[in-house]
Structure 1
Amino acid sequence: MPAARVQRRRTVRTVIALAIVPLLAVVSACGYGDDKDSDKTDPAAAQQSPGASQAGKPAGTSASELRLGFFANVTHATPLVGLKEGFYAKELGTTKITPTVFNAGPAAIEALKGGSLDATYIGPNPSISGFTSTNGELLRIVAGTTSGGASLVVKPNINSAADLKGKKIASPQLGGTQDVAVRAWLAKNNLKTDTKGGGDVSIVPTDNAQTLALFKSGELDGGWLPEPWATRLVQEAGGKVLIDERTLWPEGKFVTTNLIVRKDFLEKHPDTVEALLRGQLATTEFINANAEKAKADVNAQLLEYTKKELPKPVIDAAWPNIEVTNDPLAASLLKLKDEGVHVGVTKDADIKGIYDLTILNKLLTASGKPAVQDAGLGKK
């Protein structure tokens, strides 16, 4: 074969090969055939999400969807306001946010275990239970959200712990934060309870809305409840506050609500978690600077998710009982764990490693704010 023809064939093969290389790169970047759930990478989100570049992570770690849980309570003002004002959506960019409402923490933990939830706002005791029951593999607390906002409300003729003997008291759910609080307080007052509703005082895990109805009808004598339900029992059902939980804590501060993230989601999508936290930080500043607008947002969201908004006197009375903060108040978590173990609803285990405040503290220090502490319970 003439040398000229050989050279032409080699040239054509070279041109074709060079043309194929960029096409293969495009196909590879598209990630075809692997987009089944929120843990799969969305390349567009990875390139466009505000969190991707700021997290210092390589492109390709943004989640296509973030499934976020929370409760329709005043103590969950942060997610309610953040969703309403669009702070999360702005920071998450092309990552879709899918909200899910829960009545209490244990149900949210089960959703996290089942893989149908990526992150949730939740109380400390379910966070501990979820961590210990999975040997630390399920979740990490990445921020605090709320302090305070829980009280024991009782019938007007009940004036002390002793008066509760033989009575029925509600909590939102067995093993939840308020459930542990009421059992621990009763135990300190020498009143026994058990997880089946027996003992000196019967603890009846009950949906918050149902608690209000049963309290009105006289079937319940009280409830240890988060806001706005504690205030609703007072204003709508003639109850009185026997114990404001803030009075049981130094400086009146204790963790009521945390933000937790499924551990594998945090590891796969740190930039998405960073975007979520940026949204929370913006929301916290907004709430603390705009109380009236924040209350209006919470009420609008309660109407959206529960089909009923709060009367203005109720939300006005409930609002001062909470403090919106990014500090997880980690020192209070140890006491809460010990109380949960003591009353038999929490497994005793080492909770070191339950916190991962790395991203939160990075964002706080970058904005000139002090870092928050993990009380020695941070990443191992």
Structure 2
Amino acid sequence: MLRTRFRRALVTAVVVPLLPVLAACASADKKSTASTGGAAATAAASSGAALAESPTLKLGYFANVTHAAAVVGASKEQPFFQKALGSTKLSTQIYNAGPAAIEALTGGTINAAFLGPNPAINGYVKAKGGLLRIVSGATSGGASLVVRASITSAAQLKGKKIADPQQGGTQDVALRYWLQKQGFKVPVTGKGDVSILNLDNAATLDQFKLGRIDGAWVPEPWASRLVDAGAKTLVDEKTQWPGGKFVTTHLVVSQDFLKKYPGSVKKLLQGELAAEDWITANPDQAQTVVNDELKTLTGKALKPAILASAFKGIGITMDPLASTLQEAADHAVSVGLLKKPDLKGIYDLSLLNEVLKEAGKPAVDDAGLGV
């Protein structure tokens, strides 16, 4: 299995913000949406025809606890993905944040990726509905704003430096939207009331230890690692959503790959379900596997207490929590990162619901945003 080592400052150095492009193409092209993606898979399944499979599948994900299903499923110890894929050879690529994974999906470097809601929305809109489909959920929760212990209120953040993984990413939108609700001006370009820095997660931890930033809105395990380094949690993102549930990670597949190889996508979903069921049934062992993989991918394992804290903050689920996707998009619109998008067609949950039905589990809903 091919792996690329996590490079600590790569994304910060090379990624160009998506905003100028997004502003020019915020409405999805229905003809493109209707003519590509999962329709072929649905038709093949309903007719009883065999679903085509690819010789290879290139998958992207992050070295985060919020990507536990991918970290476990692609691991050497519990290779659920490869077992499910059979003769289809799996290769993997690690990313720091969603926008970089979307660029790779656009360029064909990968066929599928586990990433957050806002990069998926951005990628869908930028390609006028023709790039990707969300085919499954993966994780809910597991992101927080952590700050220096001396900061006890939102008002004290004025003039401070707060980091997140990448502009246009899920945590970037969450941070900007929350700051806006507190009355701060946080323009996408130019100086705001709070300085927002887009840093690689590992660099964020280093900069916090050096006293160069005052906090960060980051996913797990980075929030727990910052707390271990002396930070405290000011906002658990769960508190910002009804019922404490919101999509943090889901699985997207390029429409071209989904159309050509629905059989491989279905098998990947079977592997994800097997990984998630195993994590739920074996939480202690799952933490060990994730920690071993994170050590391989980032060069450093987590302290047991940090790992336990990170796992406590997430919920493993195949349900994409589609009803929260439109709200995430609305947040991006509110902070100026996106024009009002038409997300109809962004989901294709037909293969996922087949997998769930075969496993005796209830179907999940696309909240009216399916193909």
Measured in 1, the distance between the counterparts of 2:163 and 2:131 equals 29
Name 1:364's counterpart in structure 2: 356
1:68 to 55, 59, 73: 59
Q: Could you tell me how far 1:315 is from its partner in structure 2?
A: 0.1
Name 2:11's counterpart in structure 1: none
> What are the equivalent positions in structure 2 for 1:115-154 lying under 5 Å apart?
115-154=108-147
Measured in 1, the distance between the counterparts of 2:284 and 2:201 equals 25
Measured in 2, the distance between the counterparts of 1:57 and 1:200 equals 58
1:79 to 70, 75, 99: 70
Q: Could you tell me how far 1:86 is from its partner in structure 2?
A: 1.4
Measured in 2, the distance between the counterparts of 1:57 and 1:183 equals 47
1:270 aligned onto 2:262? yes
Moved over 6 A (4+): 52-55
1:343 aligned onto 2:332? no
Higher-RCO chain (CA-CA 8 Å, sequence separation at least 6): 2
Deviation per CA, 1:186-212: give whole Å up to 9, x if none.
Answer: 111110112236211111100000001
Name 1:14's counterpart in structure 2: none
Name 1:185's counterpart in structure 2: 178
Given that residues 143 and 220 in structure 2 are in contact (C-alpha distance below 8 angstroms), is that contact kept between their aligned partners in structure 1?
yes
Name 2:107's counterpart in structure 1: 114
Given that residues 197 and 203 in structure 1 are in contact (C-alpha distance below 8 angstroms), is that contact kept between their aligned partners in structure 2?
no
Deviation per CA, 1:139-182: give whole Å up to 9, x if none.
Answer: 00000000000000001111111110111100000000000000
1:292 aligned onto 2:303? no
Measured in 2, the distance between the counterparts of 1:56 and 1:90 equals 23
Measured in 2, the distance between the counterparts of 1:127 and 1:185 equals 20
Percent identity for Structure 1 against Structure 2: 54
Given that residues 55 and 271 in structure 1 are in contact (C-alpha distance below 8 angstroms), is that contact kept between their aligned partners in structure 2?
no
Q: Could you tell me how far 1:99 is from its partner in structure 2?
A: 0.5
Deviation per CA, 1:23-68: give whole Å up to 9, x if none.
Answer: xxxxxxxxxxxxxxxxxxxxxxxxxxxxx99994437x21111000
- Report the AA paired with residue 358 of structure 1: S
Given that residues 129 and 347 in structure 1 are in contact (C-alpha distance below 8 angstroms), is that contact kept between their aligned partners in structure 2?
no
Measured in 2, the distance between the counterparts of 1:345 and 1:157 equals 31
The root-mean-square deviation of aligned C-alpha atoms, in Å, is 1.5
Measured in 2, the distance between the counterparts of 1:348 and 1:116 equals 29
Measured in 2, the distance between the counterparts of 1:174 and 1:209 equals 16
1:319 aligned onto 2:311? yes
Name 1:47's counterpart in structure 2: none
1:226 aligned onto 2:219? yes
Name 1:203's counterpart in structure 2: 196
> What are the equivalent positions in structure 2 for 1:18-37 lying under 5 Å apart?
none
Measured in 2, the distance between the counterparts of 1:136 and 1:57 equals 27
Name 1:165's counterpart in structure 2: 158
Q: Provide the secondary structure at the position in 2 that maps to 1:241.
A: strand
The answer for unaligned runs of 5 or more in structure 2 is 1-43
The 1:267–1:171 alpha-carbon spacing in structure 2 relative to 1, beyond 3 Å, is: same
Structure with max Cα Rg: 1
1:353 to 342, 345, 354: 345
Name 1:213's counterpart in structure 2: 206
Measured in 2, the distance between the counterparts of 1:156 and 1:378 equals 44
Name 2:248's counterpart in structure 1: 256
The 1:55–1:115 alpha-carbon spacing in structure 2 relative to 1, beyond 3 Å, is: farther
Measured in 1, the distance between the counterparts of 2:217 and 2:131 equals 28
The answer for unaligned runs of 5 or more in structure 1 is 1-51
- Report the AA paired with residue 299 of structure 1: N
Given that residues 132 and 347 in structure 1 are in contact (C-alpha distance below 8 angstroms), is that contact kept between their aligned partners in structure 2?
no
Name 1:307's counterpart in structure 2: 299
Q: Could you tell me how far 1:362 is from its partner in structure 2?
A: 1.1
